[in-house]
Chain A
Amino acid sequence: MKVKSLLKNKDVSHKLIILATFFLLVIFFSIMKPSYASYDNIMTILLATCVNGLLALGCSFVIITGGIDISVGTVMTFSCVMSGTAFTVWHFPIWLAILFGFLVGTLCGAINGFAVAKMMLPPFIATMAMQMITKGLSLVVSGIKPVYFTGADGYQNIAIGEFLGIPGFYNAIIILVIAAIVAHILFSRILIGRYDLAIGSNEEAARLSGIKVNQWKIGIYALCGLFCGVAGLVMSSRLNSAQPQLGPGYELEAIAAAVIGGNSLTGGEGSIVGTLIGALIISSLTNGLRIMAVSTEIQSAIVGLVLALAVFFDQMRRKKG
Chain B
Amino acid sequence: MAGELIKMEHICKEFPGVKALDDVTFELKAGEVHALVGENGAGKSTLMKVLTGVYTKDSGKILLNGEEISINNVRDAQRKGIIMIHQELNLMNHLTAAQNIFIGREYKTKAKVFLDAKSQNQEAKKLFERLNQDIDPTVKVGDLTVAKQQMVEIAKALSYDSKILIMDEPTAALTDNEIEDLFRVIRMLREEGRAIIHISHRLEELKQISDRITVMRDGGYVDTVNTKDTSIDQIIKMMVGREIFVTKQDAFTQKDNKVTLEVRNLNAGRMVRNVTFQAREGEILGLAGLVGAGRTETARAIFGADPHESGEILVHGKPVKISSPSDAVNAGIAYLSEDRKRYGLALGLSVDENVCMADMTDFLKALVFINFKKSRDNTTKQKESLSIKTPSIKQKVKLLSGGNQQKVVLAKWLTRNSDILIFDEPTRGIDIGAKNEIYKLMNQLAAEGKTIIVISSELPEIIRTCHRVLVMCEGRITGEVTGDEIDQNVIMGYATKREA
Residues of chain A at the chain B interface (Cβ within 8 Å): 8, 189-191, 194-195, 197-198, 201-202, 204-212, 268-269, 321
Contact = CB atoms under 8 A, between A and B. Distances in A.
A9 to B, nearest CB: 9
A8 B347 CA distance: 19
B105 interface: no
Contact of A191 (B330, B346, B349, B360): B360
Given A190-B370, A204-B343, A209 B353 contact: no
A202 B325 contact: no
B331 to A, nearest CB: 10
B360 A208 contact: no
Contacts of A205: 342-346, 357
Contacts, number: 77
Given A8-B16, A190-B369, A321-B16, A210 B325 contact: yes
**Best-surrounded residue of B324, B347, B353, B412 (most CB of chain A within 10 A):** B324
29 contacts: A194-B370, A197-B348, A197-B349, A197-B353, A198-B346, A198-B349, A201-B348, A201-B349, A202-B342, A202-B347, A204-B343, A205-B343, A205-B345, A208-B325, A208-B335, A208-B344, A209-B329, A209-B358, A209-B412, A210-B328, A210-B358, A210-B359, A210-B416, A211-B326, A211-B357, A211-B358, A212-B324, A268-B349, A321-B16
Nearest to B360: A191
Contact of A201 (B329, B347, B370): B347
Contacts of B343: 202, 204-205, 208
B400 to A, nearest CB: 15
Interface string B355-371: 00111100010001110
Nearest to A204: B343
A210 B330 contact: yes
B346 A201 contact: yes
Contacts of A268: 346, 348-349
B369 A198 contact: no
Interface string B303-343: 10100000000000000000011101110000101000011
B332 to A, nearest CB: 11
A206 B358 CA distance: 8
Nearest to A8: B16
Contacts of A209: 325, 329, 357-358, 412
B364 A208 contact: no
A208 B303 contact: yes
Given A207-B324, A208-B335, 6 more contacts: A8-B16, A194-B360, A205-B346, A205-B357, A210-B329, A210-B416
Contacts of B346: 197-198, 201-202, 205-206, 268
Contacts of A212: 324, 326
**Chain B interface size range:** 20 to 34
Contacts of B303: 208
B114 to A, nearest CB: 32
B370 A208 contact: no
Main secondary structure of the interface of A (DSSP, over half): helix
A11 B315 CA distance: 43
Nearest to A198: B346
Contacts of B329: 209-210
Contacts of A201: 346-349
B228 to A, nearest CB: 44
Best-buried of B328, B348, B412 by chain A (most CB within 10 Å): B348
A194 B344 contact: no
Interface string B206-221: 0000000000000000
A190 B370 CA distance: 5
Closest 7 CB pairs of A and B: A210-B329, A201-B346, A209-B358, A210-B326, A202-B346, A201-B348, A268-B348
Given A201-B348, A268-B349, A269-B348, A206 B369 contact: no
A279 B357 CA distance: 31
Contacts of B344: 205, 208
A207 B353 contact: no
Interface string B247-269: 00000000000000000000000
Nearest to B413: A209
A207 B416 CA distance: 15
A205 B339 CA distance: 10
A212 B328 CA distance: 12
A201 B344 CA distance: 11
Contact of A204 (B328, B342, B359, B368): B342
Given A191-B364, A197-B349, A207 B325 contact: yes
Contacts of B412: 209
A201 B330 CA distance: 23
Interface in B10-52: 16
Q: Which of A8, A191, A201, A321 gathers most chain B CB within 10 Å?
A: A201
Contact of B305 (A191, A197, A208): A208
Contacts of A211: 326, 357-358
Given A198-B349, A210-B330, A268-B349, A189 B369 contact: yes
A49 B74 CA distance: 44
Contacts of B325: 207-210
Contacts of A194: 353, 357, 360, 370
A319 to B, nearest CB: 11
Contacts of B349: 197-198, 201, 268
A316 to B, nearest CB: 15
Contacts of B335: 208
Contacts of B359: 210
Contacts of A197: 346, 348-349, 353
Contacts of A195: 360
A189 B370 contact: yes
